[in-house]
Amino acid sequence: MLKGVPLLEVKNLVTEFITEDETVRAVNGINFSVNPGEVLGIVGESGSGKSVTALSIMRLIPNPPGIIREGEIIYHNSENGPVDLLALKENEMRKYRGNRFAMIFQEPMTSLNPVFTNGEQVTEAIMLHRKVTQKEANELTLSLFNEVKLPRPTDIFDSYPHELSGGQKQRVMIAMALSCNPSVLIADEPTTALDVTVQKAILELMGELQEKHKMAIIFISHDLGVISEIANRVIVMYKGRIVEQGNIREVFFNPNHPYTKGLLACRPPLDRRLRILPTVSDFMSIDDTGMMKEGPTTIDSVLDRLVISQKERIEHHVRLYREQPLLQIKNLKTYFPIRHGIFGKVKDYVRAVDDVTCNVYPGETLGLVGESGCGKTTLGRTILRLIEPMDGELVFSGRPVTWLPGKELREYRKQMQIIFQDPYSSLNPRMRIGYAIMEPMQVHGIGNNDRERKQRVIELLERVNMNESHFYRFPHEFSGGQRQRICIARALAVSPKFIICDEAVSSLDVSIQAQVLNLLNELKQEFNLTYIFISHDLSVVKFMSDRIVVMQNGRIVEMGDADEIYNNPKSDYTGQLIAAVPKGTRLKQQEINIKEIKK
């Protein structure tokens, strides 16, 4: 390969999806290149075209309805000279796909076959592209499992995907992608569904593997903070076009395009307390001709207007904590039995919630943070009595509710609602969303008739920034952010006092996440709500919360004022959670090193 020649060139790529109603140009004439050994980041919201770009490179666009309308994708690392991947026949493309080009997808569980062991799936990929025996493929798979730092590689080889954690499944996918020594690795949102600590470990692993194998990586994400931890250059996409590209340091610290500024600003900042989060619309708007207009010149000029003073915060907390607790949790224990043998004898217990005690005050947002498996979701569901506790006491509005029977339990649940992480699986795909929101009102006898209930549903839809026409649509007709707004409206339908938000924004783009977080805060004030806000992301929890509870292995390891916990963590575990939040520290360290060299 000639020096100075890029490894991959994308020229005037146009990819369309043709439906009965319209033709959507998902990628609209983009041009970029990837150099050998480079990590190129592609960032943008859902619908920006970044994933379609990756699938176009891999020639995985489903046809119909998709079609690569025009363009060239030139691969230069070939024995026969430059190759246009778009000009290859499908059987010729298979020699490149999985061999020279490999891809890691966002959700590893849907990418792995649940009926085959992890080892079988990786060895199958190896034997498909390399001339090796079954024994050699098995040995290579175990070697790859060691390389991606999977614990107990032999056990994981013989285990099934459902037996692994999210981070472990993603490591299996990375091992599979590396199995044929690709020149280009495409990683499409590989860390979005992971805890921040696991995300950090995966990013570090990919950086190490890229350095070791000297391969190029195209890393796709909606979060510029994540991109800043791994990429050399970045491309920012908006509605199928590239609106900004350049060195990651320049784009991260000195963005030029208003859309890029919006993406950077809408992630909750850790160095200041904001009243509301900025959104992309604060930095850009569309004029009558459909062209983008420039907004404020700097991110700081927007953030400075939104800062809450320390005095305001102290006065708010003085009022908040003079009240009697709305919810008291006393020595709560929720254990799951581990059974053994054909008679199911209980061998031990998983202590998911282990002697937890805390209070939640009226009008408070109590943040609950920790890694997957720490017990935070189990605690939330135990409070709602969706899971029965083994021991302890729950007191709501001064009334013991731990062992309430049927009818009284239903009345208790009316006052307490939950918003789940995945809005799509929370909604019945066969039920129109208006009736899905109306259903809990019917169950609890709210409203005199369905006509009254329908009017209330329309009011709630409008309150969460949707409209009356959405009443008769099905869940699949909405985006992720819209579906989460529907779930919020459904939670409000029974006029609760208390809502548990269980990872309610974890699956959303940072820009949509900011809109939903702002909406939750607005509704809290308007309806006098109290929240428990559960997340693995400490930056989101810090923005939302008055106080934070940090959980590990079913126990509370730290509890206190949100800002105080972030600024002065008492436990090493809390410090690890804070350190794992992507915040461009790699770039800042690079700048410090450059300044030291210049001195």
pLDDT tens by residue, 144-202: 999 998 888 999 999 999 888 778 888 999 999 888 888 999 999 888 767 888 888 88
Residue ranges of E strands in 420-487: none
Answer with the residue of higher pLDDT: 111 or 560: 560
pLDDT band at 587 (very low <50, low <70, confident <90, very high): low
Query: 250-257: long-range contacts (C-beta < 8 A, 24 or more apart)?
Result: 251/224, 252/224, 252/228, 252/584, 252/587, 253/584, 253/587, 255/299
Average pLDDT of the chain to the nearest whole number: 88
Residue 218 CA to residue 174 CA, distance in Å, equals 14
Which run of H or of E encompasses 538? helix 538-544
Verify cis geometry, omega within 30 degrees of 0, for the bond prior to 65: yes
Residues 388-432: tens digit of each pLDDT: 999 999 999 999 999 988 888 888 888 999 998 878 788 999 999
Calculate mean pLDDT across residues 335-356.
84
**Look-up of token digits 């983008």:** 292
pTM: 0.87
Q: Please state the φ and ψ torsions of residue 355, each to the nearest 5 degrees.
A: 65, 55
Residue 549 CA to residue 562 CA, distance in Å, equals 9
Predicted local distance difference test score (pLDDT) of residue 294: 57
Answer with the residue of higher pLDDT: 586 or 56: 56
DSSP secondary structure string, 372-422? TTSSHHHHHHHHTTSS--SEEEEEETTEE-TT--HHHHHHHHHHEEEE-S-
Answer with the residue of higher pLDDT: 53 or 63: 53
* Contact between residue 167 and residue 372 where contact means Cβ atoms under 8 Å apart: no
Which run of H or of E encompasses 253? helix 248-253
Residue 544 CA to residue 533 CA, distance in Å, equals 8
DSSP code of 85?
G
Task: Find how far residue 126's CA is from the centre of its chain.
Answer: 31
Predicted local distance difference test score (pLDDT) of residue 595: 45
Predicted local distance difference test score (pLDDT) of residue 46: 84
Domains of the chain and any CATH numbers: 1-100+184-254 (3.40.50.300), 110-181 (no CATH), 317-568 (3.40.50.300)
